[in-house]
């Protein structure tokens, strides 16, 4: 009821006051019947002296000193006009003559009431009326623009909801000032003929940007939240297969990390750190107002990305909502930040055609020196040394220094003279191409944007590629002045071939690293060598790449339909219905002859089908108010209801016993069923939401948001949650005292605090579950209730009806500054983000028969700073240099766990007081110079060492979380030429080699090839080296997990470099071409790595653990852009 009352008062109060005033005047006139035209007598003499005060203040002073009362209409009387008056013992006529001097006003005195009104005769005789419309650069009408007379500052008006205005002036010789927050003030000299049309231009600084949160847009000048913006020109025609890869280095506080160079691979995004221990930490993605499924939706593919179905060329902007003031409107899903993607729309004007084409190469990045493999000669030398360093083995096999090479050649076949570089065989130069066509335009009533695209990229490893077909249409139409409709359809269909990673025998990288260099990939007759006696548990990657299949077909359809009705010029209702459909088909085939298929019963064929369907319906009332009709007090209020439902459907069929014909790859050709499973899940969310902000003269802004979510993922006991934010900002540059500091264009202080939630958990995590048969997903839970061929059942989850959302409480303090006509600007933010009620497995009593249940019990904190600076150091008529830099520092700390006990995993630990990604390893102490034995520190004091691996304690040390990351950008333009680049950097984290047990084994796992760095192994007493003695079939555990295989993850990468030339319009004028530019672009051209011992690419995902993934590629492309 309070909201309704406030709404009523704000909307109608000023209007009713005016009507009441008019009625009051009519009653007075009717009662008195005497209309005296400024009579010469007065009831009260007036003495008053005022200087440079407003007219309204002068009238109030007179009322205080006399019995006179004044009645007037705010829209007629320029009550803010500055006047000066000095009279002594004057009558009212003299006073009014001085007050209304040179104003088109008259007055009537009715007893003691002075009624001021427009002098219609004076207006008609002397005044001029200026009218017209104010728009932005896209010809969109701008309501609320201030128009003021420069000669008569008290005369002013504002544009209405249609951008129109009318202003009466006493003289034709004047100058009108047009101003609006975030836009350049524009002057118009009078007189003019006809209606005026003014187009305002943005300031070009921070405040000129527009923030889009999915429920509307807002000028950044009046925002209170921390929001990062990425524009379309930073996304278009890049070599990345998904838009999230383009975000790396673009936004302070956003960490975008890849772990694989597979085209179409998953990109991991974190905003202001990791916010959860067991629930998801991925941000929420919103496209054109619709919440979408993101991340890896596939189940059998090594790595995939749902966003790879979206063509980055179709995107207009990306807003990254980082703090509570910006993101809390998304309530229970906003804890990890929100990424709002807005696609391109049509604008009024002639039809525009835009065509882009690009072709290029994908090449391998530089292989680190530490990652180079042993050649045949090197292997023979090192292995001979290792055999002799194992006296028991040498004696058993009769090996001496004289016959050791003969022994090796006979046992391993290393004397063939072959030196196969397996990495060269599985790696390649690929091809990349893309073509994009868009058509846009429209009338004042209807606008459209239609686009289509094709993208294809070959990976740098065999059997690795990606292609995408995309289509998009956006249509807006104004049915009437009050009613408008809009719709958009986005379709993306992509195909992806992805080899396995990790230890799979069908992973080309694994095979190339592990295979001996003296093995031939081919037989003498040119056929593939697949001799099991030669390859053992490994496989020929050339054969498996040709005859195995790991194929993903992914389809994404995103559609919206929106209707808007303007109830009044400042009150509207919008209803939007959106759908997000994802369909994934995965085919896996392992041939029955060689490789992984040979370990099954004559091969394996599997087909997995996955479908995600999500719909969101949003209904919103949007009210804009201007309390005094002069832009002094303005505000916005949004109130709405939103419903969402998401459904998931999966099925899998797999068989073994396949025919030897490699063309027949589908499961129906198998003889033995291997797997048949299916499942479906869903969840729903219903929400009430509201947003509000109020601004005083564009200086002070207060904002707030509230959302109440109800989710089926929680029981009736905790189904609903409240999420909110409050924020404030101060545009200091609007203060009068700042006008004397002309070089400061923007000085804005921001602060916010709020509560957001994380509901990224299992759909049925709170329920007590009972299952039948056998589990199909062993990674989640293993059970087999069947018995003696009969179906059995049993409990699989004890559930928790008190389960609720993980919550984040976040404080943000921000500063925005623009200097020297915004040629230099910077933004600074400090945040403190506390995550509580984190979901953890809490042990139950052994008598329950269940090991643990999920409970809200953990907590974590992320605290950090973000800084970004952008400037234009040089700008002349022909030359311009712009540069930018951003840096982010986040400190993560676990603050509580179940009973304060550690959570230990493979090589990592979760401990109160430590970073979430802390490694937990034995501490490497080096090599004993006396005997070459490995040494470890016995404990964290690092005071004593031992050569016994089992006597060394596991110690938390180092983290996969970087201490700082960010980027440096620079762009030079000279006439039609531009050169721009982006350097990305990452410092302070560590990366772990998961496969050192094979590649740096010091003689252990002797059936595998090793890194050439093993040649630095200890040889004799007194040698100082970091590689222990090499012993064939080593058993001293020197290659087991320890900090020896932790490497500094510091690196700087030349992420992008583009050289372009835009032809001058004069050259193109005769060709009917509006624009033509050509460019050459490089991606990942060079990488500086601090730790020279690191054998892999330093970008190893958030966990910092390399897993034999495809390396990050270099991409070189040549492209052209045509505009008609």
Strands 977-987 and 908-910: unpaired
**Which residues, 6+ apart, have CB-to-CB distance to 519 below 8 Å?**
413, 418, 420, 529, 534, 535
Instruction: Report residue 917's pLDDT band, with 50, 70 and 90 as the boundaries.
Output: very high
Q: What is the pLDDT of residues 992-1023, one digit of tens each?
A: 999 999 999 999 999 999 999 999 999 999 99
Top-confidence residue, 765 or 203: 765
Fold entry, domain 34-122: Phage tail protein beta-alpha-beta fold (3.55.50)
Instruction: Report residue 49's pLDDT band, with 50, 70 and 90 as the boundaries.
Output: confident
For the chain, domain boundaries? 34-122, 127-199
Would you state the pLDDT for residue 758? 92
Q: Is the pLDDT of residue 432 over 60?
A: yes
HEC secondary structure over 508-524:
HHHHHHHCCCCCCCECC
Top-confidence residue, 88 or 430: 430
Query: 1049: closest CA among 867, 914, 917?
Result: 917
Would you state the pLDDT for residue 3? 35
Long-range contacts of residues 408-414, Cβ cutoff 8 Å, at least 24 apart: 408/380, 408/383, 408/384, 409/380, 412/383, 412/516, 412/518, 413/518, 413/519, 413/534, 414/376, 414/379, 414/380, 414/383, 414/516, 414/518
Would you state the pLDDT for residue 121? 54
**Which regions of 55-155 does DSSP assign to beta strands (E)?**
69-71, 82-90, 105-110, 113-118, 128-135, 146-149
CA dihedral 999, 1003, 1009, 1015 (to 10 degrees): 80
CB 1107 within 8 A of CB 501: yes
Would you state the pLDDT for residue 139? 77
Query: At 936, is the secondary structure helix, strand, or coil?
Result: strand
Query: 552: closest CA among 491, 464, 489, 651?
Result: 464
Q: What is the pLDDT of residues 810-832, one digit of tens each?
A: 999 999 999 998 899 999 999 99
Angstrom distance (rounded) from CA 1048 to CA 1090? 7
Query: At 208, is the secondary structure helix, strand, or coil?
Result: helix
Express as a percent the part of the chain with pLDDT over 90: 67
Rounded to an integer, the average pLDDT of 42-71 is 80
Query: 368: closest CA among 1055, 1057, 1048?
Result: 1048
Q: Which CATH class is domain 127-199?
A: mainly beta
Cis previous bond, 191, omega within 30: yes
Angstrom distance (rounded) from CA 821 to CA 733? 12
Phi, psi dihedrals of residue 207, rounded to the nearest 5°: -75, -10
Angstrom distance (rounded) from CA 965 to CA 247? 13
DSSP 1067-1100: HHGGGT-SEEEEEEEEES--EEES-TT--S-S--
Q: Which strands, in side-by-side order, build the sheet including 903-904?
A: 903-904, 908-910, 918-922, 954-959
Please state the length of the chain. Answer: 1124
Q: Is the pLDDT of residue 29 over 50?
A: no
Q: Which of 20-24, 297-301, 791-795, 828-832 has the lowest mean pLDDT?
A: 20-24
C-beta neighbour count of 428 within 10 angstroms: 16
DSSP 859-911: EEEEEEEEEEEEEEEEE-SSEEEEEEEEEEEEEEEEEE-GGG--EE-SSEEE-
Instruction: Report residue 517's pLDDT band, with 50, 70 and 90 as the boundaries.
Output: very high
Range 1047-1084 burial, b when 16+ CB lie within 10 A, else e? bbbbbbbbbbbbebebeeeeebeeeeeeebbebebbbb
Pull the structure tokens for residue 621. Answer: 């009332």
Q: What is the pLDDT of residues 519-568, one digit of tens each?
A: 999 999 999 999 999 998 899 999 999 999 999 999 999 999 999 999 98
Would you state the pLDDT for residue 770? 78
C-alpha radius of gyration, the chain, whole number: 36
CB 1006 within 8 A of CB 393: no
Mean of pLDDT over the chain:
89
Would you state the pLDDT for residue 887? 98
Pull the structure tokens for residue 134. Answer: 């104010």
Reported as half-sphere exposure (CB side, CA atoms, 13 A), residue 461 has a value of: 28
Give counts: helices (H), strands (E), the chain: 14, 56
Phi, psi dihedrals of residue 1088, rounded to the nearest 5°: -100, 125
**Which residues, 6+ apart, have CB-to-CB distance to 454 below 8 Å?**
433, 434, 435, 436, 467, 468, 469, 470
Q: What is the pLDDT of residues 667-700, one digit of tens each?
A: 999 999 999 989 999 999 999 999 999 999 889 9
Residues facing 961 on adjacent strands:
none
Longest CA span, the chain: 137
Q: Is the pLDDT of residue 739 over 90?
A: no
**Which residues, 6+ apart, have CB-to-CB distance to 797 below 8 Å?**
764, 765, 767, 768, 769, 850, 853
Q: Is the pLDDT of residue 1093 over 50?
A: yes
Query: 245: closest CA among 992, 853, 822, 982?
Result: 982
CA 60: distance to chain centroid?
55
Query: At 181, is the secondary structure helix, strand, or coil?
Result: coil
Burial label for 179, CB within 10 Å (0-12, 13-18, 19+), is: middle
**Which regions of 514-603 does DSSP assign to beta strands (E)?**
549-568, 571-590
Strands 69-71 and 113-118: parallel
C-beta neighbour count of 122 within 10 angstroms: 14
DSSP 442-485: E-SSEEEEEEEEEEEEE-SBTT-EEEEEEEEEEEEEESSSSEEE
Angstrom distance (rounded) from CA 1079 to CA 358? 9
Angstrom distance (rounded) from CA 727 to CA 329? 13
Pull the structure tokens for residue 999. Answer: 């590649």
**Which residues, 6+ apart, have CB-to-CB distance to 834 below 8 Å?**
808, 809, 810, 859, 860, 861, 895
DSSP 536: T
Range 591-621 burial, b when 16+ CB lie within 10 A, else e? bbbbbbbbebbbbbbbbbebbbbbbbebebb
Q: Is the pLDDT of residue 98 over 90?
A: no
Q: Is the pLDDT of residue 264 over 70?
A: yes
Query: At 384, is the secondary structure helix, strand, or coil?
Result: helix
**Which regions of 251-337 does DSSP assign to beta strands (E)?**
254-258, 267-271, 284-287, 290-291, 315-321
HEC secondary structure over 143-175:
CCCEEEECCCCCCEEECCCCCEEEEEECCCCCE
Would you state the pLDDT for residue 363? 94
Q: Is the pLDDT of residue 433 over 90?
A: yes
In whole angstroms, how far apart are CA 205 and each of 219, 231, 703? 12, 14, 22
In whole angstroms, how far apart are CA 3 and each of 8, 575, 690? 8, 21, 11
In whole angstroms, how far apart are CA 126 and each of 81, 82, 154, 169? 19, 21, 18, 9
Q: Which of 122-131, 284-293, 488-497, 880-889 has the lowest mean pLDDT?
A: 122-131
* Distance between start and end Cα atoms, the chain: 56
Would you state the pLDDT for residue 463? 94
In whole angstroms, how far apart are CA 540 and each of 255, 778, 1007? 38, 29, 15
DSSP 393-417: HHHHTT--TTTHHHHHHHHH-GGG-
């Amino acid at each position: 009821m309070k909201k309704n009352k406030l709404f009523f008062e704000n909307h109608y109060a000023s209007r009713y006051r005016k009507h009441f005033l008019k009625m009051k005047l009519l009653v007075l006139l009717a009662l008195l019947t005497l209309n005296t035209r400024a009579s010469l007598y007065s009831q009260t003499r007036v003495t008053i002296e005022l200087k440079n005060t407003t007219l309204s203040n002068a009238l109030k002073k007179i009322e205080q000193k006399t019995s006179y009362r004044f009645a007037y209409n705010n829209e007629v009387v320029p009550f803010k006009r500055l006047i000066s008056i000095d009279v002594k013992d004057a009558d009212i006529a003299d006073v009014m003559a001085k007050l209304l001097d040179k104003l088109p006003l008259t007055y009537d005195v009715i007893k003691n009431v002075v009624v001021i009104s427009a002098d219609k005769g004076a207006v008609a005789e002397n005044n001029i009326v200026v009218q017209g419309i104010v728009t932005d650069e896209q010809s969109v009408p701008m309501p609320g623009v201030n128009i003021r007379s420069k000669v008569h500052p008290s005369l002013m008006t504002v544009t209405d909801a249609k951008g129109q205005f009318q202003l009466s002036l006493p003289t034709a010789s004047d100058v009108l000032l047009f101003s609006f927050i975030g836009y350049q003030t524009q002057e118009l000299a009078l007189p003019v003929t006809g209606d005026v049309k003014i187009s305002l231009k943005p300031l070009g600084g921070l405040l000129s940007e527009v923030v889009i949160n999915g429920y509307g847009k807002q000028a950044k000048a009046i925002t209170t939240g921390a929001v990062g913006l990425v524009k379309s020109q930073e996304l278009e025609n890049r070599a990345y297969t998904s838009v999230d890869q383009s975000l790396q280095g673009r936004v302070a506080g956003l960490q975008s990390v890849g772990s694989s160079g597979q085209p179409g691979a998953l990109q991991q995004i974190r905003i202001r750190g990791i916010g959860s221990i067991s629930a998801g930490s991925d941000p929420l993605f919103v496209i054109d107002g619709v919440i979408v499924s993101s991340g890896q939706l596939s189940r059998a593919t090594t790595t995939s990305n749902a966003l790879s179905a979206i063509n980055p060329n179709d995107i207009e902007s990306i807003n990254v909502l980082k703090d509570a003031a910006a993101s809390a409107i998304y309530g229970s899903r906003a804890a990890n930040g929100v990424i709002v993607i807005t696609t391109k729309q049509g604008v009024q004007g002639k039809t525009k055609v835009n065509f882009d084409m690009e072709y290029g190469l994908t090449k391998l990045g530089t292989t680190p020196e530490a990652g180079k493999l042993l050649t045949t000669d090197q292997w023979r030398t090192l292995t001979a040394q290792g055999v002799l360093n194992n006296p028991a083995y040498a004696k058993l096999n009769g090996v001496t220094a004289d016959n050791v090479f003969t022994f090796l050649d006979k046992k391993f076949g290393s004397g063939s003279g072959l030196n196969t570089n397996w990495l060269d065989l599985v790696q390649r130069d690929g091809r990349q191409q893309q073509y994009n066509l868009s058509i846009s335009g429209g009338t004042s009533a209807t606008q459209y944007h239609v686009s289509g695209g094709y993208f294809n990229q070959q990976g740098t490893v065999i059997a690795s590629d990606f292609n995408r077909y995309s289509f998009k249409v956006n249509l807006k139409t104004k049915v009437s002045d009050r009613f408008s409709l809009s719709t958009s359809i986005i379709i993306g269909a992509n195909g992806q071939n992805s080899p396995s990673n990790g230890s799979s025998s069908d992973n080309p990288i694994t095979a190339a690293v592990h295979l001996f260099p003296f093995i031939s990939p081919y037989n003498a007759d040119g056929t593939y060598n697949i001799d099991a006696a030669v390859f053992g548990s490994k496989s020929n990657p050339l054969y498996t790449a040709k005859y195995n299949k790991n194929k993903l077909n992914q389809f994404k359809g995103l559609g919206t339909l929106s209707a808007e009705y303007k109830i009044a010029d400042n009150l509207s209702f919008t209803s939007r219905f959106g759908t997000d459909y994802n369909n994934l088909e995965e085919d896996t085939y392992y041939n029955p002859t060689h490789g992984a298929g040979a370990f099954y019963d004559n091969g394996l064929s599997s087909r997995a089908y996955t479908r995600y369907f999500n719909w969101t319906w949003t209904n919103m009332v949007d009210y804009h108010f201007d309390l005094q009709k002069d832009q002094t007090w303005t505000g916005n209020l949004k109130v709405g209801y939103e419903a969402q439902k998401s459904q998931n459907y999966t099925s899998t069929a797999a068989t073994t016993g396949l025919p030897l014909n490699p063309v027949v790859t589908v499961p129906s050709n198998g003889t033995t069923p291997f797997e048949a499973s299916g499942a479906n899940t869903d969840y729903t969310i219903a929400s009430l939401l509201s947003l509000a902000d109020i601004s005083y003269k564009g200086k002070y802004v207060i904002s707030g948001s509230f959302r109440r979510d109800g989710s089926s993922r929680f029981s009736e006991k905790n189904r609903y949650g409240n999420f909110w934010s409050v924020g404030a900002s101060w545009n200091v540059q609007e203060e009068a005292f700042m006008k004397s500091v002309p070089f400061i264009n923007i000085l804005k202080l921001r602060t916010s605090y709020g509560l957001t939630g994380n509901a990224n958990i299992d759909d049925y995590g709170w329920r007590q579950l009972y299952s039948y048969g056998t589990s199909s997903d062993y990674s989640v839970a293993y059970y087999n209730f069947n018995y003696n061929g009969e179906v059995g059942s049993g409990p699989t989850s004890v559930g928790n009806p008190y389960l609720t959302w993980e919550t984040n409480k976040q404080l943000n303090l921000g500063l925005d500054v623009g200097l020297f006509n915004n040629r230099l600007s910077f933004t600074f933010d400090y945040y403190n983000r506390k995550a509580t009620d984190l979901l953890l497995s809490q042990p139950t009593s052994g008598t329950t028969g269940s090991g643990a249940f999920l409970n809200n019990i953990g907590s974590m904190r992320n605290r950090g700073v973000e800084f970004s600076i952008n400037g234009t150091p040089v700008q002349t008529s022909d030359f311009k240099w712009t540069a930018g830099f951003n840096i982010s520092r986040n400190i993560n700390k676990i603050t509580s766990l179940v009973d304060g006990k550690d959570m230990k995993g493979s090589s990592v630990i979760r401990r109160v007081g430590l970073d979430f990604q802390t490694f937990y390893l034995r501490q490497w102490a080096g090599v004993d110079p006396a005997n070459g034995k490995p040494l470890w520190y016995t404990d964290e004091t690092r005071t004593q060492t031992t050569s016994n691996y089992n006597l060394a304690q596991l110690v938390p040390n180092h983290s996969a979380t970087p201490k700082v990351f960010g980027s440096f950008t620079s762009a030079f333009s000279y006439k039609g030429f531009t050169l721009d680049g982006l350097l990305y950097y990452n410092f302070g984290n560590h990366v772990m080699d998961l496969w050192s047990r094979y590649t740096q084994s010091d003689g252990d796992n002797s059936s595998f090839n090793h890194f050439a760095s093993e040649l630095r192994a200890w040889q004799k007493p007194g040698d100082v080296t970091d590689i222990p003695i090499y012993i064939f079939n080593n058993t001293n555990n020197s290659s087991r997990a320890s900090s020896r295989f932790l490497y500094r993850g510091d690196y700087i990468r030349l992420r992008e470099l583009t050289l372009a030339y835009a032809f001058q319009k004069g050259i193109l004028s005769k060709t009917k071409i509006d624009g033509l530019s050509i460019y050459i672009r490089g991606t990942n051209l060079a990488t500086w790595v601090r730790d020279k011992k690191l054998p892999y690419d330093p970008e190893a995902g958030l966990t910092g653990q390399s897993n034999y993934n495809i390396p990050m590629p270099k991409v070189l492309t040549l492209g052209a852009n045509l505009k008609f």
